[in-house]
Amino acid sequence: MKQKKEIRVLVVEDDPMVSQMIRMMLEKMGYTVAGRAADGLTAIEMVQSLKPDIIFMDIEMPGISGIDTTRRIYETYPTPVIMLTAYETHELVEWASGVGAGAYLVKPPQAQEMERAITIALARFDDMMELRRLNTRLKTQNEELLRLTDELQERNEDLDTFTQTVAHDVKSQLGLMTAYAEIVADEIESEKLKNYLSTIIQSGRKLANIVEELHLLLGVRKMDVVPEPLDMVKIMSEVKLRLSYLLEQTQAQILFPDEWPLASGYAPWIEEVWVNYLSNAVRYGGQPPMVQLGATALADGMVHFWVQDNGHGISQEMQAQLFTPLINLAQIRAEGAGLGLSIVRRIVQKLGGQVKVKSKLGQGSTFFFTLPKGE
């Protein structure tokens, strides 16, 4: 910190006697008075050549006021300013603060008041300069962040377009491959070749399901849907139709409730939720799978849906990871895509609900999801 004699002061005061008094008091306290000005325009010119460390600025002067003078000085050479006034008013405090003045004094000032005002003005000026530096740095960082955000958005749009195109093309080719494999399987007599073709067909369906899940995940991320009352009977009819091959293959027994409480959501997404929950319950249930579905309207305005299986159950440690992308039943119980339950979580949360699982080893598992009640 500078010593008093190193601090150079500019006194801007139109009253010669007041100006002389302030100069003498400053020099007696050990400060250096670098110059004096009687009006704002002169002060602005002197600041550029003198580069003072602090300015005593009279508010009322001929020509431009001390407030306007300070404002113009700050445009080119910010420096601590102490306002001088003949009387103290609330408006003065607001004006002085508005232009960045560090302190103000009522004329004629006392030496002790001047010393205190100088200390305060210098400290506030340092704080103000630090704040300006931080604001400048923050502005630069925000501009860089906006640039990166725009760049990321552009890349995401390109990736979305690419994903949609690839998903469509891959799904088409997989469907064609599976269809031809089924035709060939019907025409040949060799059981060994039939088994090979059956493996190809099942793999093709699994790959098609993965592509469908990726496409659905993209839609959930991008789409903003308006929830509507759900016709759960109709939705479950579509679910059973989509899973008919699996239900027939496993001889699963599915118990449905007699009626469904009215819930609100987006039907295509809720269909995917049920497909994931029900297919997992069938694949990883007992032999044969026995699955029970249910729903309860809760007092908090939500509807509680659930799927219970008769499988081996899931450990507490693994339950916490079930709804994490790519950490799924596929890695915990058997085989699968690894995306389904993470998509379920995203869908349900976007529709205002929650997902949950309860399970004990040897006692099966129950998967839940909630949705707002329908109107």
Indicate which CATH number applies to the domain containing 26. Answer: 3.40.50.2300
What is the span of the domain harbouring residue 300?
A: 225-375
Count of structural domains within the chain? 2
Q: Which residues in the chain come in under a pLDDT of 50?
A: 327-338
The pLDDT of residue 196 = 78
Identify the pLDDT of residue 331.
45
CB 37 within 8 A of CB 86: no
Rounded distance, CA 79 to CA 55, Å?
A: 7
Residue 45 lies in a domain: yes
Query: Could you tell me if residue 39 is inside a domain?
Result: yes
Q: Provide the pLDDT for residue 156.
A: 63
Whole-number pLDDT of residue 199? 79
Q: Closest Cα partner for 232 from 261, 273, 275, 253?
A: 261
Kindly state whether residue 179 falls inside one of the protein's structural domains.
Answer: no
* CA 338 to centroid of chain Cα atoms: 26
Alpha helices in the chain (DSSP H): 16-29, 40-50, 66-76, 90-98, 111-187, 191-222, 232-242, 244-250, 267-283, 316-319, 329-332, 340-350
Residue 137 lies in a domain: no
Residue 83 in domain = yes
pLDDT attached to residue 338? 45
| 3-state SS assignment for residue 136 | helix
Same domain for 231 and 373? yes
Q: Would you call 285 exposed, middle or buried from its count of C-beta atoms within 10 A (0-12, 13-18, 19+)?
A: buried
Last residue of a domain, one of 86, 109, 132: 109
Q: Which of 91, 109, 127 is the last residue of a domain?
A: 109
* Structural domain includes residue 129: no
We report the CATH number of the domain holding residue 245 as 3.30.565.10
- Indicate if 230 and 358 belong to the same structural domain: yes
Residues 87 and 233 in one domain: no
pLDDT score, position 79: 84
Is the CB of residue 68 less than 8 Å from the CB of residue 58?
no
**CA–CA separation, 52 and 260 (whole Å):** 81
The pLDDT score that the predictor gives to residue 277 is 92
pLDDT of residue 308: 94
Q: What are phi and psi of 107, to 5 degrees?
A: -80, 145
The SS3 assignment for 294 reads strand
> pLDDT value at position 162?
60
Pick from 59, 88, 109: which residue ends a domain?
A: 109
**pLDDT of amino acid 327:** 47
What pLDDT is stored for residue 366 in this prediction? 93
Asked if the structure places residue 146 within a domain, the reply is no
Does 242 share its domain with 371? yes
- How high is the pLDDT of residue 218? 64
Same domain, 229 and 375: yes
| Residues 103 and 232 placed together within one structural domain of the fold | no
Please check whether residue 214 lies inside any domain of the structure.
no
pLDDT digits (tens, 9 = 90+) for 210-219: 666 666 666 6
Taking the model in full, what pTM does it have? Answer: 0.50
Note the pLDDT of residue 334. 38
